[in-house]
Amino acid sequence: MKRLIPAVIVLTAGSLLASGSEPMPQQPMQQMQRTPEQEAVDAYNAGLRARDKALKLLEEAKTADAKRAQKNEDGAKKQFERAKGYFERAIVYNPRLFQAHGELGFALRKLGRYDESLAAYEKSLAIQPNYSLAIEYRAEAYLALDRFDEAKDAYLILFNGGDRPRADLLFNAMSEWVQKRRAEPGNVATDKLDAVAKWLDERKAIHAQTGALYRSNAPVVTW
């Protein structure tokens, strides 16, 4: 994300000196009109800050007592609502800002609004089809709706497409989904869970075989 340049302040003609005369009265300085793109980026960045606050609250809730955990979860929900509003504002200013659509989907998913979340991810990917963040986020929404096969397809796209870190994140999410459904089957049949668990075990072996190779070929980042 490029750094925003502060708005430029310009002087009105009334602030200039007239030749051979007393200084003219100064008029208030006017701020140059901001572009919709600048407004979109500002709203998007504000949404990211609210999202990060929400995630921090949820992380702290994991080790807090029951009362504190509930307070953190309530606070996180409010921050996700704020983030949602900022991302929606960013999209109004710049409908082509695919990152804002993706983050809107994330906020909606965290609020439990899965169908709306999927719609936001679809819009993001319609603009930028290879946006791996939205591919992984959308897959986690699929899991919340017990649509494992679609999450599996997303995982293979990420894994075969070279985004190993996000493929790994999704693999962990799928493994957690199986554990959760073992405890709370819901509408997922036992034989379906068994088949998924078997497939994950097979993929785990592939992960072990390819993990070292990926790390050895990963680009070195220097600053």
Q: Which domains does the chain have, with CATH numbers?
A: 35-129 (1.25.40.10), 130-212 (no CATH)
Contacts of residues 34-41 at CB distance under 8 Å and 24 or more positions apart, as own/partner, are 34/7, 36/93, 36/94, 37/93, 37/94, 38/4, 39/89, 39/90, 39/93, 40/89, 40/90, 40/91, 40/93, 40/94, 40/97, 40/100, 41/1, 41/4, 41/90, 41/94, 41/97
Task: Tell me what the mean pLDDT of segment 80-102 comes to.
Answer: 98
Q: What is the pLDDT of residues 4-27, one digit of tens each?
A: 433 333 333 333 333 344 444 554
164/58 Cα distance (integer angstroms): 26
Q: What is the pLDDT of residues 165-214, one digit of tens each?
A: 999 999 999 999 999 999 987 888 999 999 999 999 999 888 777 765 55
pLDDT band at 65 (very low <50, low <70, confident <90, very high): very high
Q: What is the pTM of this model?
A: 0.78
81/55 Cα distance (integer angstroms): 13
What residue type is 136 in one-letter code? E
Q: With left for phi above 0 and alpha for psi between -120 and 50, is residue 12 left, alpha or beta?
A: beta
